Every structure is written in C-alpha cells, then in structure tokens.
Amino acid sequence: MNVTPKIAAPLDPGFQPAVLFNRHYVTAARASGRAVPLVLGLEREGGLVSRYGTIVKPEADAETLRYVERIVKFLLWARGGWRLHVGGPKAIGAFLGKTYSPRGARKFDCGMMALAYGRKFQVVTTTAGRVPADKEMQVAAGGHLKGCRIGFDLGASDYKVSAVVDGEAIFTEETPWDPKTHADPEYHYHHLSAGLHRAAAHLPRVDAIGGSSAGIIVDNEIRVASLLRAVPKKLFPKAAGIFKRIQKEWNVPVLVMNDGDVTALAGALSLRQKGMLGIAMGSSQAGGFMDRQGRILGWLNELAFVPVDLNPAAPAEEWSGDRGVGALYFSQQAVGKLLPAAKITLPEELGLPERLKEVQNLMAKGDDRAAKIYETIGVYLGYAIPHYAEFYDFRHMLILGRVTTGQGGDIVIAKAREVLEAEFPEVAAQVELHVPDEKSRRVGQAVAAASLPMTKR
C-alpha cells in the first residue's frame, strides 16, 4: 500500500510518510470488520512499562507485518525497553520475535537495547489483556529552582557549568574538551569535577547538581554515548559510573538526563508550558519530551532512529543500516543527502558541517536550489509532526539546531505549517511550533539541568 502525500517533497518524490501509511492501514483494518486489538508493552528499568494500543487485521499479511514492525521500531527508540510484550495474534508475536533478535533484521536495535538496559532483549507473546499495565515515572523532573545549585551540560566539543541561585545563573563557563578521543575515564571525570568546583566557588553552599549529556542515560548511568566512544570495554563501567561517583563525593542529590530531554525542559521553563516535544537538527537528530503533567518520563527519545519514511528505496542510515529513519531527514545528514537532487556540487573533502554552511551561504544569496533543500526538510517535518503525535501527547514543539538557523529555518517551519494545515488540520489546531528566541534563550541548558533534582530545602 503506497500513499501519496498531498504536498510532495520537492527533492524527494519517492517520500512515503509513515503517518499516512499508518492511518490508511488502521482505516482499512477497521473497515474490514475483522480487526483485532494489538497491545504492545515495553518494559524497562525498575519495572517501568509503556503501553501502546492499536488494531490490526487478524491475518499476518505483508501490510500488517510492515505496520507492526515499524511501530515497534518507533516505540523502541522513543520509549526504550529490554522486554517487548506483544498482546495480539500469535503470528505477529512470532514475526516480531524473529525480527527483533540477535540474528534478525533488527539485530542492531536489540543489541542497543540490551546495552542500554543491561538485560538481554526479549519478545514475549501474550494476549492484549495480559500486557502489563502502564507504569511511568511519577516524579516531576525539573523546574526545581530554589536553592544553590550547579548545572552542567556535556557536549562533544565543550562542556558548560553554571552556578544557579533560586533559578538565576550567577556564574556560567564553557570549557573546550575532546572527550571522544580519550580512552581513560579519569579524563572525563576530572574535567567534570574541576568544572563543578569552579562553579561551587561562586556559591555559599551546594544543594543539588543536575546534568545534561548526549547519549542514553539510565538511572544516572551512561549506557551508550558517543562522548565515551574511545573508552575500551573493560573500562566502560568506570566511565559509566561517573555521575554516581560525583553524587557520593558531593553528598547532594544528583540527577543527569539526556540532553534532548533537558532541551525540552528548558523550552518548557521559558515558555511556561507543559506537553513539550523538542527536536534538534544538528549533526544528527536529538529529541526530548515533557508530558502534560510536567514529567520527564525517562524515555529514550532517540528520534534519530525512528522511522518517518516507508519508501523501500530510501537511503540506509549508516550505523543501524535501517531505511527511512529520522537522522537522514532532520539533521546535517539530511542536507548532505539532498545535495545531488538539488544539483549542488561541493568538494568531496568537505564534512557535513561545512556542507551545511555552504548551503546556508547559497540560501543567503537567494539560491533557489538551496531553498528547495529547506522546503523538502519542511515537508518531511510537516508529515513527521502528526506521526510523532501518534506516540507522544504534546501541544508544543520546540524546533532548534544548526539546520534551522537563518532563512532556511524559516522555510522549514513555514513548509511544515503548510503541510499541517493542508493534510492534518486537527493537528495544526492543537500543536504550536516554537523556535528559539531571546525569551527561550533566557533559560540555558545548564540552568535547566540544575533544576532537575529535588531537594529537601
């Protein structure tokens, strides 16, 4: 089943939005009069469970299997988990068990989930009624501004620390570093520890420490992170436990979360809104989510790996090997992918950041070829937003990152809004798009991170 979008992607005529396929499939299943429930439950650390319910045709035909496999892929990277409960037809459970196995087509995803949660990935087939109930984090993470706090944000080229008193940063510092090339975990620890001490020197006391870092972080432990890519396997546990080491030494509440979630928190604090989904289009695609109760749920939100395009001829993402996933649609990689179709030729030795700069320069000169790249990404985004809305309950979307800076970013947002209004008016009426402005910049990443832990004061 191929579906044709009302608004075509100018440089990607084969684009098949996942949201259209999903909606058409569910409509057809319901119209058949034979639809049965399918309930998927993802179990992660501490017995937390996220459920997702839909309907499917009882027979495991090609369209049904395509539908459920892509939904599972989305859920794995959006919410995370080491055990998948499949409440539905046994044939679907058997297919998913084979596909998401160490030798299956999605062995990459299984391996990453096992690495993230420290448990072998499992698929359990059961009935819809026996899938474990939802159990999400009940603590509102973030927005705790009172007291003397330190916040930090660990990036690939620099790290930031802030000393914060009652929500106001009285000291902020950026320090260059190169964590990706250092194999000794002590390098990472000493840089962070030194930064914390420099910030603490500006405070009468330290009540709490909050942090933001790229990668998968579970229970204050780094499970997967490009920042630690040079650390050998035998030393990785030491590197993964840096934040717990900090907590023991400082003897104050410490809470560290994925940088995408902290970005969503910063946006929510600035805009004074909840129900926030944030996406950052940088070297890859990052994501973060705060629900409408003001909670950060501890989901993975690794939107770089979630499927948004069901075109079987879509390019494969180099790490996972999967096709049609977010990293190639909402990042510098997306710009690089679209250059040939835009008939823009650049020197082969240029990296993706430099290619983006060249496209931005062309855009500033009014080059229509560059504009088509941004229009195409805007169409991608317009169809991704309602797709995200099938899995996230949000009313605000914060959109940022280098790809969205300048005139090109304005085109991306405008085109996304055009798609929403033309094809998804109900979503257009419910979801407000935001881009960083001076108001939202007042709450920086490190300051938002400082507000993560609760204290008794």
Edge-to-edge order in the sheet of strand 158-165: 168-176, 158-165, 148-154, 208-213, 254-258
- Of 453, 137, 447, 434, nearest in space to 266 by CA: 447
The 10s digit of each residue's pLDDT in 319-354 is 899 999 999 999 999 999 999 999 999 998 998 989
Question: Does 142 fall in a domain?
Answer: no
Among all chains, which residue has been given the structure tokens 């495991």? Answer: 60
Q: Which of 101, 130, 159 is the last residue of a domain?
A: 130
- Of 383, 375, 338, nearest in space to 358 by CA: 338
Coil, strand or helix: which one is 324?
A: coil
- Rounded to the nearest angstrom, the gap between the alpha carbon of residue 52 and the centroid of all alpha carbons in its chain is 18
On whether the CB atoms of residues 337 and 352 are closer than 8 A, the answer is no
Residue 256 shares a structural domain with residue 277: no
The reported pLDDT for the residue numbered 384 is 98
CATH code: domain of residue 245: 3.30.420.40
- Of 142, 187, 141, nearest in space to 164 by CA: 142
Residue 373 shares a structural domain with residue 244: no
Q: Which domain holds residue 402?
A: 265-441
Distance CA 291, CA 312 (A): 33
Six-digit token pair at 196? 């914390």
Q: Which of 216, 236, 262 is the last residue of a domain?
A: 262
Residue 189 shares a structural domain with residue 115: no
Q: Look at the chain and report how many structural domains it folds into.
A: 3
The reported pLDDT for the residue numbered 442 is 43
Q: Provide the whole-model pTM.
A: 0.89
Question: Does 333 fall in a domain?
Answer: yes
On whether the CB atoms of residues 281 and 402 are closer than 8 A, the answer is yes
Residue 96 shares a structural domain with residue 217: no
Question: Does 2 fall in a domain?
Answer: no
Question: Does 15 fall in a domain?
Answer: no
Residue 255 shares a structural domain with residue 393: no
Residue 124 shares a structural domain with residue 159: no
The reported pLDDT for the residue numbered 269 is 81
- Tell me the β-bridge partners of 297: none
Strands 432-434 and 396-400: parallel
Residue 274 shares a structural domain with residue 370: yes
Residue 373 shares a structural domain with residue 273: yes
Residue 236 shares a structural domain with residue 253: yes
pLDDT along the chain (457 residues), means of 10: 88 97 96 96 94 95 97 97 97 97 96 93 97 85 87 86 93 89 94 96 97 86 86 92 96 90 82 89 88 88 95 93 96 95 94 93 96 98 98 94 90 97 97 73 71 82
The reported pLDDT for the residue numbered 441 is 47
The 10s digit of each residue's pLDDT in 206-238 is 999 999 887 888 889 998 887 898 999 899 999
The reported pLDDT for the residue numbered 238 is 93
Residue 126 shares a structural domain with residue 187: no
Residue 305 shares a structural domain with residue 420: yes
Question: Does 185 fall in a domain?
Answer: yes
Question: Does 9 fall in a domain?
Answer: no
Residue 272 shares a structural domain with residue 324: yes
Question: Does 14 fall in a domain?
Answer: no
The reported pLDDT for the residue numbered 440 is 47
Q: Which of 98, 130, 162 is the last residue of a domain?
A: 130
